[in-house]
């Protein structure tokens, strides 16, 4: 006899909506998070991600929809009966309690015997590398330490789901990058189902099993980090995650795409798209090269080099097609070149006449250059209204 086991998602949201009067904060969200998964709700402020987290936590009641935790409907349960762990953006530690008392709080509420509480609190503080600091009060601790206390406090109760509301946004950059890795590794080690809310895309890309990109109260796209970055499903996702050059144009008879301003892009246009169809082409800056002159195949954006931004590992070259015309047009492009390549011009330029040119030349803003796209470099081609 064969037995099929259908895994019950640890967390399931079905048609969740939250309205505040005429304002719609969450406009219908469906989401399954499987056991042990790390899912990030990513979006700009006001996209409804924190509201969604609050609905899962039971801080307020959804206008419509169902929430299941391990198959159990919880929409009508108050927060304290949901068995969740929450780490707040401001940590929300209890200032009148020591770190250890903060961590012990959830266990005390669950009437765990004192001896066991002591042991589990010590273990939890150990887990977040705060062993020996249990007697400190939150006000005597650094931001990073408070963050760890908050994490330990949420983890010690072994919740069904761990909810993290922008927990890293109050830390400085160095600490933030450290905590990213640490939280992710603790999460993997404990195998705890986690929903993480952030507006920081690099956080989302580094930490998540899956990312749900949210906009205007809806999930625009959900997928693993490389899906989201490499194959954005909507224009919003393409522009929100990373940098993106976007060009709108028409399919030509030669199966290329030509923008209204005459830029021709050699993109492999699928057969089902007829010549003349309106399409959008999206190219990541790091997939373009900068050339001194237009390449032989002509598939390049020729324009004025307006800006060179030194970003450390890469250098961004902003090419402005509209030299004398209005400034911002969709045909402007950005090229990102890794610094270790030294000279941005020598990568693909077969003519080699620029190979020996020093980089300094390109720093002269206003020089005329070409932003080239090879055939394989196109990230996305979308038809119609994208």
Rule CB under 8 A: which residues touch other proteins?
57-59, 78-86, 88, 90, 92-96, 105-106, 108-110, 139, 153-154, 157, 163
Tokens of 248: 């709108």
- Residue 357 carries which DSSP code? -
Residues β-bridged to residue 140 = none
CB nearer to other proteins: pick between 86 and 370: 86
Residues β-bridged to residue 336 = 316
Closest separation between CB of residue 66 and other proteins, Å? 20
CB nearer to other proteins: pick between 84 and 179: 84
Closest separation between CB of residue 83 and other proteins, Å? 8
Closest separation between CB of residue 149 and other proteins, Å? 11
Tokens of 282: 């999206």
Give the span between the Cα atoms of 304 and 298, in whole angstroms: 17
Closest separation between CB of residue 210 and other proteins, Å? 23
CB nearer to other proteins: pick between 68 and 88: 88
Closest separation between CB of residue 80 and other proteins, Å? 5
CB nearer to other proteins: pick between 33 and 154: 154
CB nearer to other proteins: pick between 25 and 211: 25
- Please name which of 12, 9, 20 lies closest in space to residue 61, comparing C-alpha atoms: 20
Closest separation between CB of residue 53 and other proteins, Å? 11
Closest separation between CB of residue 7 and other proteins, Å? 26
Beta-sheet pairing, 64-69 with 210-215: unpaired
Q: Does residue 39 contact residue 31 with C-beta atoms inside 8 Å?
A: yes
Q: Does residue 277 contact residue 251 with C-beta atoms inside 8 Å?
A: yes
DSSP alpha helix (H) spans, 138-234:
143-155, 173-190, 201-207, 225-230
CB nearer to other proteins: pick between 86 and 301: 86
CB nearer to other proteins: pick between 114 and 358: 114
CB nearer to other proteins: pick between 95 and 313: 95
CB nearer to other proteins: pick between 25 and 241: 25
Give, for 87, the enclosing helix (H) or strand (E): strand 84-87
Q: Does residue 266 contact residue 256 with C-beta atoms inside 8 Å?
A: yes
Q: From start to end of 210-259, where are the E strands?
A: 210-215, 218-223, 245-251, 257-259
Closest separation between CB of residue 109 and other proteins, Å? 4
- 216-223: which pairs have CB atoms within 8 A and are 24 or more residues apart? 216/27, 216/47, 216/48, 217/17, 217/24, 217/25, 217/26, 217/27, 217/28, 217/29, 217/47, 217/48, 218/27, 218/28, 218/29, 218/48, 219/29, 219/30, 219/31, 222/31
Q: Is 9 helix (H, G, I), strand (E, B) or coil?
A: coil
Residue 193 contacts by C-beta under 8 Å, 6 or more apart in sequence? 10, 11, 33, 34, 35, 36, 37, 160, 161, 162
Closest separation between CB of residue 199 and other proteins, Å? 18
CB nearer to other proteins: pick between 33 and 219: 33
Closest separation between CB of residue 298 and other proteins, Å? 58
Where residue 384 falls (left for φ over 0; alpha for ψ -120 to 50; beta otherwise) is left
Q: How far is CA 86 from the centre of its chain?
A: 20
């Amino acid at each position: 006899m064969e037995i099929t086991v259908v895994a019950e998602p640890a967390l399931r949201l079905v048609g969740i909506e939250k309205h505040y009067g005429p304002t719609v904060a969450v406009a219908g969200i469906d989401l399954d998070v499987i056991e042990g998964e790390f899912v990030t709700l990513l979006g700009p402020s006001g996209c409804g991600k924190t509201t969604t987290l609050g609905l899962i936590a039971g801080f307020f009641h959804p206008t419509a929809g169902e929430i299941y935790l391990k198959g159990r409907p919880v929409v009508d349960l108050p927060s304290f009966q949901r068995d969740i762990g929450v780490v707040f953006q401001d940590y929300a530690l209890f200032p009148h309690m020591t770190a250890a008392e903060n961590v012990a709080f959830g266990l005390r509420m669950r009437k765990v015997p004192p001896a066991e509480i002591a042991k589990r609190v010590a273990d939890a503080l150990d887990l977040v590398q705060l062993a020996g600091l249990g007697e400190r009060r939150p006000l005597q601790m650094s931001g990073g330490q408070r963050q760890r206390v908050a994490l330990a406090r949420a983890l010690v109760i072994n919740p069904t789901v761990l909810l993290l509301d922008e927990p890293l946004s109050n830390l400085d950059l160095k600490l933030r990058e450290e905590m990213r890795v640490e939280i992710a590794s603790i999460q993997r080690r404990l195998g705890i189902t986690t929903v993480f809310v952030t507006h920081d895309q690099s956080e989302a890309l580094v930490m998540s099993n899956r990312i749900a990109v949210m906009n205007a109260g809806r999930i625009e796209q959900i997928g693993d980090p490389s899906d989201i970055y490499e194959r954005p499903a909507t224009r919003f996702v393409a522009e929100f995650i990373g940098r993106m050059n976007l060009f709108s144009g028409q399919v030509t008879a030669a199966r290329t795409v030509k923008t209204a301003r005459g830029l021709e892009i050699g993109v492999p246009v699928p057969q089902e798209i007829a010549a003349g169809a309106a399409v959008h082409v999206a190219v990541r800056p790091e997939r373009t090269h900068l050339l001194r002159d237009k390449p032989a195949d002509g598939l390049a954006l020729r324009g004025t080099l307006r800006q060179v931004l030194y970003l450390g590992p890469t250098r961004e070259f902003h090419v402005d097609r509209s030299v004398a015309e209005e400034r911002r047009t969709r045909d402007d492009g950005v090229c990102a070149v890794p610094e270790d390549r030294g000279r941005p011009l020598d990568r693909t330029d077969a003519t080699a006449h620029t190979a020996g040119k020093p980089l300094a030349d390109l720093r002269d803003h206003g020089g005329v250059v070409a932003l080239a796209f090879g055939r394989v470099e196109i990230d996305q081609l979308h038809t119609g209204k994208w």
